[in-house]
Amino acid sequence: MCLQLPPVPGSVALPGFASVAAERDAWRVRTRQRQQALSPVLTAVPRIRGPVSAETFLDLFYAPGIPVVIEGLAAKWPAVRQWTTKKLARKVGSAEITYQGGRNSAPDFEIAKTRHTRTMPFDAYIEMVTSADTGNDAYITAYNNVANTVALQPLMGDFGPVPFLDERIGSIWIGPKGTFTPLHHDLNNNLLVQLMGTKRLFLLPPEETSKLANNDFVFSDVHDIMSDDKVAQYPEVLSARCYHVDIHPGDALFMPVGWWHQVEALSFSAMLTYHNFIWPNDAFRDFPPNR
Ligand SMILES: O=C(O)CCC(=O)C(=O)O
């Protein structure tokens, strides 16, 4: 733990100290950058395996705000072992669900979420996104979660407990290969649990915010750090430290509050996100609003 020493009462700054302090600050940044350059800019998030106690998770990851993949955390859940697209369609049947639609034709689909909300029977949704290449056009997201509570009830018995979450169930995300959530950060800590398929994420630490054209709320105008056009428009993003992580069925990714991320499904995907940690997770309460 880093403790800051309290100032000595009555002490005064020595002449020249401020400029030395600034030079030392610059030295710290330079040294860190030199060391970081030893590994490629796109690097990996730590991965651990096996049972993780709440205490270990708190000390090593939650409290310090360090992302981590816990491989196999959900490997034994029925959702991971048994779900297929056919089984999902059978379990939920034709119950009416809401999803986010018309995303391909509107670059601001993530900001204008209400405008993109659509309804459809669940089995028809699964048929639609598996029989044609709909890409990012139609996606059941956390934004649809409350509206879908009753319809998706038949799936709720297929998840297991996590030692550092309370018993509430997370938000479900279901969509085909090609769904894409643009670069943004959350206002609380998030645990993503992958149930079906693979998701690819790029994560950037909060300290990189100044390079990410954050002109609106929690969104980045960069949108997609892998887009050549966007990188040409916002070249500072090239010097931002960026972590690449793929999550597979049974894996969980802890994403600390304030970390920037974008998410792409590499195949048909079902995933849960949880915010109900057993420790405080309410930083959203004092996030300064747009002015
Ligand atoms: O999986 C996704 O498409 C997006 C998840 C995400 O960005 C989030 O939960 O904050």
Q: Kindly tell me if the per-residue pLDDT of 210 is higher than 60.
A: yes
Distance 263 CA to ligand 1 centre (A): 6
Distance CA 208, CA 204 (A): 7
Which atom of ligand 1 is nearest to 262's Cα?
7
List, in order, residues 6 or more apart from 110 with CB less than 8 Å away. 181, 182, 184, 219
Q: Does residue 263's CB lie within 6 angstroms of at least one atom of ligand 1?
A: yes
Fold assignment, 42-278: Jelly Rolls (2.60.120)
pLDDT-based confidence at residue 174 (cuts at 50, 70, 90): very high
- Cβ atoms of 227 and 277 within 8 Å: the answer is no
Q: In this predicted structure, what is the pLDDT of residue 290?
A: 80
pLDDT band at 34 (very low <50, low <70, confident <90, very high): confident
CA angle 15, 19, 25 (to 5 degrees): 135
Decide: 264 in ligand 1 pocket, CB within 6 A.
Answer: no
Cβ atoms of residues 210 and 283 within 8 Å: no
Average pLDDT of the segment spanning 41-56: 85
Please state, as a whole number, how many other Cβ atoms lie within 10 Å of the Cβ of residue 213: 18
| Cα(110)–Cα(143) distance, integer angstroms | 10
**Other beta carbons less than 10 A from residue 108's beta carbon:** 14
* Domain definitions of the chain by residue range: 42-278
User: What CA–CA distance (Å, rounded) separates 89 from 121?
Assistant: 10
- Number of H helices and number of E strands within the chain? 6, 13
Q: How far is the CA of 83 from the centre of ligand 1 (A)?
A: 20
Looking at residue 53, what DSSP letter applies? -
Distance between CA atoms of 256 and 114, rounded to whole angstroms? 26
Taking only the tens place, the pLDDT of each residue in 73-114 is 999 999 999 999 999 999 999 999 999 999 999 989 988 899
